[in-house]
Structure 1
Amino acid sequence: MPAIILFGGGIAAGFVLAAALRALLVRLLPARLAHVARGMPITAAFGILVILAYIFVAIFAPVLAPYPEREVVGAQYLPWSAENPLGTDKLGRDMLSRLIFGARNTVGIAFATTALAFVVGSILGLWAALMGGWIDQAMSRFVDALMAIPALIFSLLLLTIFGTSVTTLILVIAAVDATRVYRLSRSVAQGIVVMDYVEAALLRGESTWRLITREILPNAMAPLVAEFGLRFCFVFLAISALSFLGLGIQPPTADWGSMVRENAALITFGDITPLLPAGAIALLTVAVNFVVDWQLHRASGLKD
C-alpha cells in the first residue's frame, strides 16, 4: 500500500510540474510557438517533462550517480539504506547508480538505432515511391519478405550469428525496423509524387536527391516525425527484451532489461527493486506515446 500511495503521489506531482512547464513555455517562447504550447494537452506536457528528465539523467549520469557504473560497493543483495538507496545487485553493485547509468546506455542506444533505421528506411521508401516501376516493386517485395519474419525471432537469429556487441545490436535492430519505416515513407510519398509541384520539379530537371529532400520530404515530415516517436518505443522495448533474454546490451554495462533479469530473484522475497528498471522502461514509453498522440492530432488538423 505505501508503494501505491508513493507511486500515485509521484504521478500527481509529475502532472503538476507538467502544467508548470506548459505555463513556462507559453511565457518564454515566441508568439507562434507559444500558441502551440498553449494548446498542448497536459498529457503531452507530462510526456515532454519526462523525456527532458531522462535526457538530463542520461547526460549527467556520472555526476548524479553516487558510485561508478561497474564498482562493487558491498555484499550482494543489500537492502535499501543511506549508503545504497536502492540496495545492491547480485554482484554487490549499487542499484541506483546502475539505474542512472542505464538511462544513458539503454535510451542512448535506442535513439541511435531509431535514427539509423529512419535515415535508411525513409530515404529508400521515398526513393522507391519516386522511381516507381520495377525498382519500387523489387524493393517492396524484398521488404515484404523480411517483414513476414517475426521481428524478435529475426533479431535473435541475426544476433546469434553476428554476435552481441553494441555495434552489431544497433545494426541488427536498425535493419529490422528500417523495413517498417520503408513501408510508411513509401506509402506517404506515393500520395505526394503525383502532385503538380512534383511534376513541375521533374519537368525542370531537378535531381532525384533534390526532389526527395526539397519536394517530398517536407510534405511527408508530419507522419514521419510521429512514426519516429512510435518506432523509438518499439526499438526501446526490443532492446530491453533482448537484454532480458541475454542477447542485448552485455554485462557489465548497465542496462534496464538485463537489470530486471539479473535481480528477478528479489521479487520472490517481496523486494520491488527489480521492478524499478521495468517501471523506467514503461514510464518513458508512455511519455513518448503522449507526445506522439499530440503530434498526430496536430498533424490531422482536427479540432477538439
Structure 2
Amino acid sequence: MRIPTAALFGLFFTGLYFFVAIFAGFIAPYGLGEIVGDVWEPARLGYFLGLTPDGYDEPQYWLGTDQIGRDLLTRMIYGGQTTIWIATMATILSFTTGTIMGFVAAVNGGWIDQALSRFIDLVMSIPSLIVALVVLSVLDTTILTLILVMGLLDSTRVFRLARAVAVDITVMDYVEAARLRGERVGWIIFREILPNALSPLVAEMGLRFIFMVLFISTLSFLGIGVQPPAADWGGIVKDNKDGINFGIGAALYPAVAIATLAISVNLVADWILNRTTSLKGGRG
C-alpha cells in the first residue's frame, strides 16, 4: 500500500505530537511550574538561526523562558499533553453521543426523528462559544467540565452528519432485509449502518478533533479554559502575548504547534476519506 507524501507528513507529525503528549513527564527537561531563569530569556533555537539579540551568549533554553521565567519548552510539552488529552476525550464523547442519537433518529423516523432533530436545531441556533462562556462562567472550570461541555456541544454537529449518512443507508436493500427478518434496532445500527458509515465519520472525526483543539485554546485564551497551574497551548499564548510588543516570540510557539497539528490531522483525515469513499454492502 503506497501512502502519499502528504499523508506521510500528516502521520509523522500527528504521531509525534501524540508521542510527546503521552510521554511528557519523561521528555520535559524541567518541572511544569519550575522557574529556571529570567523573564523572557531568548531561545537557543533563535541563537542557532541568528535571531538572538546582540549581547547574549548562547542561551540555555531551547525555546527560551516565559513571562515569569519558566522553561517554555517544558510548558509547551505539558501544554500539548493537556490540549490533546482534552480534545481527544471531548471528540470521543462528541462522536459517541452524536452518532448514537443520529442513528437512532434515522432508523426510527417519525416523532423520534422530529423531536431529536428539532432539539438539535435549537441548540445549534446558539453559537457554541457563547453557550460555553455562559456555562463555564457558572460552573467550576475543571478538566472534566471542559470535556463535558465541549463534547456535548459538538455532538450536535456529529448528529447532523450521522443522521444524514444513516438516512441514505436505511433505504438500502440489506437494511430492509434485516428489518423483514425482525432484527432489533441495535442490531441494525451496529451491524448494518455503522460499518457503512465509517468513512465519512472517521474523516469528520479528524476535523472535529481539530475543532476541539481550537475550542479549548480559545477558551483558555479568554481565561475560562484550563486554569493555572496547569498549562495548555491557548493559555501559553494568553500569558505571553504582551511579549510580542517587545519582539519576544514566546506566544508564537503554541500558535505554530496548533497550526501544525491541525494541518497534520487534516492530511491524515483526507487520506482516510479518499481510501474509503465508497459504501460497502452490509450483510443482508
Stretch of structure 1 that moved more, 64-73 or 118-127: 64-73
1:71 maps to 2:71? no
TM-score normalised per structure 2: 0.90
Query: Which residue does the alignment assign to 1:154?
Result: 131
CA shift, 1:297, in A, is 2.2
Letter in 2 for 1:188: V
**Pick from 32, 51, 55: which aligns with 2:14?**
51
What CA deviation, in whole Å up to 9, does each residue of 1:94-115 have, x standing for no partner? Answer: 1110101111110111011001
Q: Deviations over 1:132-181 (max 9, x none)?
A: 00000010000001111111111111111223111110000011100000
Structure 2 segments unaligned to the other structure (5+ residues): 45-58, 279-284
Is residue 2:19 matched to residue 1:42? no
Task: Report the alpha carbon displacement of residue 290 of structure 1 after superposing the two structures with TM.
Answer: 1.0
Work out whether residues 40 and 248 of structure 2, in 8 Å CA contact, stay in contact via their aligned partners in 1: no
Work out whether 1:209 is the aligned partner of 2:174: no
What residue is the counterpart of 1:181 in the other structure? Answer: 158
Per the alignment, residue 281 of structure 2 pairs with none
Highest RCO, 1 vs 2 (Cα 8 Å, sep ≥ 6): 2
1:80 is matched with which residue? 43
Tell me the CA shift for residue 210 of structure 1: 1.3
Residue 54 of structure 2 aligns with which residue? none
Q: Which of 190, 194, 208 is residue 167 of structure 2 equivalent to?
A: 190
Mapping 1:81-160, distance limit 5 Å = 82-160=59-137
- 1:235 maps to a residue whose letter is M
Q: Is 1:246 aligned to residue 223 of structure 2?
A: yes
* Deviates most, 183-192 or 201-210: 201-210
SS of the residue 1:206 aligns to: coil
Distance in 2 separating the partners of 1:201 and 1:80? 63
- Aligned to 1:62, which of 22, 25, 34? 25
**Greater Cα offset, 67-76 or 95-104:** 67-76
Q: Which moved more, 1:179-188 or 1:209-218?
A: 209-218
Task: Give 4+ residue runs of structure 1 displaced > 4 Å after superposition.
Answer: none
Which whole-Å CA distance do the structure 1 matches of 2:257 and 2:264 have between them? 11
Deviations 1:17-58 (A, max 9, x none): xxxxxxxxxxxxxxxxxx2xx1x2211110000011011111
Normalising by structure 1, what TM-score? 0.84
1:285 counterpart (262, 267, 275): 262
CA distance in 2, matches of 1:213, 1:150: 32
Q: Cα distance, 1:281 vs. partner?
A: 0.4
Q: Percent identity?
A: 53
| AA aligned opposite 1:248 | G
How many angstroms does 1:60 deviate by? 1.4
How many matched pairs? 264
More helix by share: 1
CA drift of 1:67 comes to 0.1
Question: 2:195, 2:276 → 1: CA distance?
Answer: 13
Shift of 1:268: 1.1
